[in-house]
Each structure stands twice: as structure tokens, then as C-alpha cells.
């Protein structure tokens, strides 16, 4: 039996009477224990975060911007040094193959570096008041003021980098926070918090962690009067229910997608097939921008499918901590059953399995390519969040753009084409938060504005954008 990792709340390291056992999604082995917190711990955590504002209101600046930037730089440097250690924790708790987990750990370093840059440069604007007659003689400018205590709720699929996308910008913005990581993957978040508090000089109370179920701890955080903002990444149903339960708070939502990719006849379809081997199956498709719906021009459809099947057939399925593994288990056996069920439903409705489609003796769903998918099938209309891509043929670009846009989601979409007019048509007409040309829409850099429209969310994440969400604009007018 493993030891309980206590959670940091203010200066204390807290345990509770009840525990959550963290298990490997691959083989069910125990890999850690964390406290099962409740509303009482949320109250303590929010109070210790809020206490950080007392000296600010009294005119002091106990952690000025240059110190916050230095803390973030130290965080980046230590994360960089310990990439392998963090990658192993991610792999163990999320069943993310080690090679993919290493990429995530490296991206978290970037997220901290970009946040440090924001801490150093965040500033308001000068307002040209003299541009209107009543403003003549007045000087106007804005300050960026921390919004208050931030409540951060994160998902299981990027247990380090998506936590970093909330923690690091909050530090940059000057907002103490309370973090509730996903119950399945709390260990990377706790290791990050320990690193920041014990080794980087982040003062106690600036980062408080409450582990526990979404229904208890998450809800207590969402409805707490002293939390000014909720930043949430996770599923659309939970995200929009949080929005409804916290009408007076700022609520930033990063939600799901059923990512479309258009492959034109003149595009580099061979290169696209090679990239989709990763983009459709990395972390077994459990990425919010996993490439899911592939619309392929009929002139190259059959050749493309053959190339994709070759690529996908070469993926290595195995344990997450094995260096050779490309695809491992989904987060739970229930998720494996759900995704398998969606494959079976698609086949019953006329889709064909080009490769995969079954669950191996190790309980891992094999990487699957379906052809002949249609919009009503769940593998098209909903977010699969599993190792499945569906291919459909189209005849002209207008049809492909309409198919791609036929979704309640709107995070990122992509097109492969060698024609400038087709690329520009896609950029103008694909109704998504991001349009990616000649690259898979699963691609993301941590400084970009990342986020969606419609059911995919209501914000943009990326340190530059997140610190603006986490600060209020305060106007100052001075009469000369």
C-alpha cells in the first residue's frame, strides 16, 4: 500500500480520514493515494488563497511581479531538469505512453516560460481621452488588476500541462489559486505544487490543492462566494453545468471537439496519413483535438485509406511505461467499453473497419480506422475520445467545408491542400477557434490562443490570453 500524498493548503500539508487510491488505468496496480477532500478543505483552501490579498488591500505588494516572474522561471528550470520524472508520473497515472508523456512534460516547461514573460510585461493601456471634447485635459490609462481567488478544475488527459496552463498564468497575473485536479490523475499536479511551494519560493497560500470528487470538491469550489473565477478544462456537459451554477463568476471553459480534417486531392495526403498516425492515436485519442473526422477528396480516398491503414497498423500497443509503446489503455475499462460500443454502432449503420476495431487480450482497444462514416454516427457527431478515426469521401470543397462545420463543437479544424484559394476558403469558412493548414489540427503550441466556439468553450488559453482573463481592467482618469 502506498503512502498518502498530503495536499498543500496554506502553510499546511493536509490529509483527511478518507483517501482516493490512484490506480494505473493499464493494469489496475496502485500507484498512489491522495486525500478525499470535502467542502471543509475547500473552505480552508479558499480562505488561505484569499488571505494573500489582505496585504495588497493594505497597500503592500508582498510578491511583486518581478518575484512572481522569478518563481515561474525557477519552476520552468526545475521542470526542465525533472522532465523524465514528471513524464513517468504522467505515464503511470494516465496510461499515457512515455514518449507522449515526455512531450507533455516539455510543453509544461514552455507554459511556465511564457507565463514568466507575461508576469514581466503585463500592463494596461493609455486611453486617448483627449480624442473626445469632454476628455480634453484629462489623462486616462488602465491597470490590470488580479481578478481575485481563482478556482482551477483540470481534466485527466494532460495532468501536468493543463494544470500548468492554469497555475502558471495565475501566478503571473497575481491571483492565488485553489486547484482541483482530476481524481484519476492528481499525482502530477501535486508534484508540481510541491516543486513550486518547496523549491521555487512560491509563498504558502498562493497554490492550494484539493483532491476529491468533482461532485463534492468541484461543486464546493464552483459555488464558493470567495472564488472570483473558475477556469475549467474538461467535458462540455460538466463545463456548461458549471457555467450555469456560477452566474456571477467569470467562468472560462475549455471543452471538447470532434476535430475534422479535410484532405484535398491536391494536398500532401501521404504526409497527412503519416501525421494522422500520431494525431488520431496519441494518448489513445484522448486529446480534445484528436483528429477524428477525416474528409478526403474522392480522387485520393482509396490511396489515402491504404496509406493510413499502413501507418496505423505499425503502431505499437502496450504498457504506458514501455519506451516502444505508441498506444496504451484508455483511462478506464468503462471508457473502453463505450468507445468499442460506438465502433460497433457505426459498423451496424454501414461503416467498415479498415484496421483495428477490437479489444486485445490486454484490455486495450486497438487503434481503429473506420471508412464510410456518416454524420449521424456517434463516431462523427460526438467526441469519440478514443483511438478511432472515421473517413468519408467528398466531391467538392464546399461539401467538405459543410461537413466539417456540421458539429456542435468548434475547437480546431484543419485542411491539407496545395492551393492558396482552398486554404483561404478554409480559414474564412471553418467555424472553429483555430484553423490549421497543411498540419494536423491536433497541433498546438502553448503560447497560441487556444480555445473554441459553440459547445467547445468560451475562452482562449495560452499564458498571454489567460492572464488577461485572470485580471480586471481598472480605468484611472486624472484631471490635469
Residues marked active site are found at 254, 288
Task: Tell me if 255 contacts ligand NAP by CB under 6 A.
Answer: yes
Return the DSSP state at 455: G
Q: C-alpha 312: how far from its chain's center?
A: 25
> Min. distance of Cβ 141 from ligand NAP in angstroms?
33
**Residue 155 in the binding site for ligand NAP (CB under 6 A):** yes
Q: DSSP class of residue 317?
A: B
Closest CA to 320 of 29, 4, 20, 1: 29
Q: Which residues ranging from 221 to 240 are in contact with ligand NAP (CB under 6 A)?
A: 222, 233-235, 238
448 binds ligand NAP (CB under 6 A): no
Residue 288 touching ligand NAP (CB under 6 A): yes
Choose between 326 and 455: whose C-beta lies nearer to ligand NAP.
455
Helix residue spans in 147-235 (DSSP H) = 161-173, 187-194, 219-222
Q: Which secondary-structure segment (H or E) carries 307? A: helix 301-313
- Segment contacting ligand NAP (CB under 6 A): 9-17, 51-59, 153-161, 302-310? 153-161
| Residue 219 binding ligand NAP, by CB under 6 A | yes
Q: Rounded distance, CA 121 to CA 66, Å?
A: 10
CB of 360 to ligand NAP, least distance (A): 23
As measured in angstroms, the least distance from the Cβ of 26 to ligand NAP is 17
157 touches ligand NAP by CB under 6 A: yes
Q: How far is the CB of 34 from ligand NAP (least distance, A)?
A: 11
- The count of other CB atoms within 10 Å of the CB of residue 332 is 14
Tell me whether residue 111 or residue 184 sits nearer to ligand NAP (CB atom): 184
DSSP string, 51-117: GGGHHHHTT--SS-HHHHHHHHHHHHHHHHHTHHHHHHHHHHHH---HHHHHHHHHHHHHHHHHHHH
The Cα–Cα gap between 86 and 83 comes to 5
Task: Return the residues of window 335-364 that contact ligand NAP according to CB under 6 A.
Answer: none
Give the total residue count for the chain: 480
Q: Is 183 in the site for ligand NAP (CB under 6 A)?
A: yes
Give the cell for residue 214. 468533482
Does the footprint of ligand NAP cover residue 215 (CB under 6 A)?
yes
- Per rule CB under 6 A, is residue 254 in the interface with ligand NAP? yes
Sign of CA dihedral 151, 155, 160, 164: negative
Q: Compute the least distance from the CB of residue 365 to ligand NAP, in Å.
A: 16
| HSE value, Cβ hemisphere, 13 Å, CA-based, for 262 | 31
Residues forming beta bridges with residue 144, ordered by sequence position: 473
Here the cell at position 258 is 470532434
Residue placing its CB nearer to ligand NAP in the complex, 257 or 471: 257
Q: Show contacts with ligand NAP in window 394-423 (CB under 6 A).
A: 411
The number of residues that bind ligand NAP (CB under 6 A) is 30
Chain residues that interact with ligand NAP, rule: CB under 6 A = 153-158, 162, 180, 182-184, 213-215, 218-219, 222, 233-235, 238, 242, 254-256, 288, 383, 385, 411, 457
Amino acid at each position: 500500500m502506498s503512502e498518502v500524498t498530503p495536499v498543500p493548503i496554506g502553510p499546511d500539508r493536509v490529509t483527511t480520514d478518507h483517501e482516493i487510491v490512484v490506480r494505473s488505468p493499464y493494469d489496475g496496480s496502485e500507484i498512489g493515494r491522495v486525500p478525499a477532500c470535502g467542502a471543509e478543505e475547500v473552505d480552508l483552501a479558499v480562505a488561505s488563497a484569499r488571505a494573500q490579498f489582505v496585504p495588497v488591500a493594505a497597500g503592500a505588494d508582498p510578491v511583486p511581479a518581478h518575484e512572481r516572474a522569478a518563481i515561474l522561471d525557477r519552476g520552468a528550470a526545475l521542470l526542465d531538469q525533472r522532465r523524465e520524472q514528471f513524464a513517468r508520473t504522467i505515464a503511470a497515472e494516465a496510461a499515457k505512453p512515455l514518449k507522449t508523456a515526455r512531450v507533455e512534460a516539455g510543453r509544461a516547461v514552455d507554459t511556465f516560460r511564457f507565463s514568466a514573460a507575461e508576469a514581466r510585461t503585463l500592463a494596461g493601456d493609455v486611453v486617448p481621452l483627449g480624442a473626445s471634447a469632454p476628455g480634453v485635459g484629462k489623462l486616462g490609462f488602465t491597470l490590470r488588476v488580479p481578478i481575485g481567488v481563482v478556482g482551477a478544475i483540470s481534466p485527466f488527459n494532460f495532468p501536468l500541462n493543463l494544470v500548468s496552463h492554469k497555475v502558471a498564468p495565475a501566478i503571473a497575473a497575481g491571483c492565488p489559486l485553489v486547484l482541483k485536479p482530476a481524481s484519476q490523475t492528481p499525482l502530477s499536479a501535486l508534484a508540481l505544487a510541491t516543486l513550486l511551494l518547496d523549491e521555487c519560493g512560491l509563498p504558502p497560500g498562493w497554490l492550494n490543492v484539493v483532491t476529491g470528487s468533482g461532485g463534492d470538491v468541484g461543486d464546493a469550489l464552483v459555488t464558493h462566494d470567495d472564488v472570483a473565477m473558475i477556469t475549467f478544462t474538461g467535458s462540455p456537459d460538466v463545463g456548461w453545468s458549471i457555467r450555469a451554477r456560477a452566474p456571477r463568476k467569470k467562468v472560462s471553459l475549455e471543452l471538447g471537439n470532434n476535430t475534422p480534417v479535410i484532405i484535398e486531392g491536391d494536398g500532401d495526403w501521404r504526409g497527412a496519413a503519416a501525421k494522422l498516425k500520431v494525431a488520431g492515436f496519441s494518448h489513445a485519442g484522448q486529446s480534445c483535438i484528436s483528429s477524428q473526422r477525416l474528409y478526403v477528396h474522392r480522387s485520393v480516398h482509396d490511396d489515402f485509406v491504404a496509406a493510413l491503414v499502413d501507418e496505423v497498423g505499425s503502431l505499437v500497443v502496450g504498457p504506458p511505461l514501455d519506451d516502444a509503446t505508441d498506444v496504451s489503455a484508455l483511462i478506464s475499462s468503462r471508457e473502453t467499453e463505450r468507445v468499442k460500443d460506438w465502433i460497433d454502432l457505426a459498423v451496424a449503420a454501414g461503416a467498415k473497419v479498415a484496421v483495428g476495431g477490437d479489444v486485445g487480450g490486454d484490455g486495450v482497444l486497438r487503434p481503429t480506422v473506420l471508412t464510410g462514416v456518416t454524420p449521424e454516427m456517434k463516431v462523427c457527431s460526438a467526441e469519440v475520445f478514443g483511438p478511432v478515426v472515421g473517413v468519408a469521401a467528398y466531391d467538392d470543397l464546399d461539401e467538405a467545408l459543410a461537413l466539417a462545420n456540421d458539429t456542435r463543437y468548434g475547437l480546431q479544424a484543419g485542411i491539407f491542400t496545395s492551393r492558396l484559394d482552398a486554404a483561404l476558403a478554409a480559414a474564412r469558412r471553418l467555424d472553429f477557434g483555430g484553423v490549421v493548414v497543411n498540419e494536423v489540427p491536433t497541433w498546438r503550441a502553448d503560447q497560441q490562443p487556444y480555445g473554441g466556439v459553440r459547445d467547445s468553450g468560451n475562452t482562449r488559453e495560452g499564458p498571454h490570453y489567460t492572464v488577461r482573463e485572470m485580471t480586471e481592467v481598472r480605468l484611472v482618469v486624472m484631471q490635469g
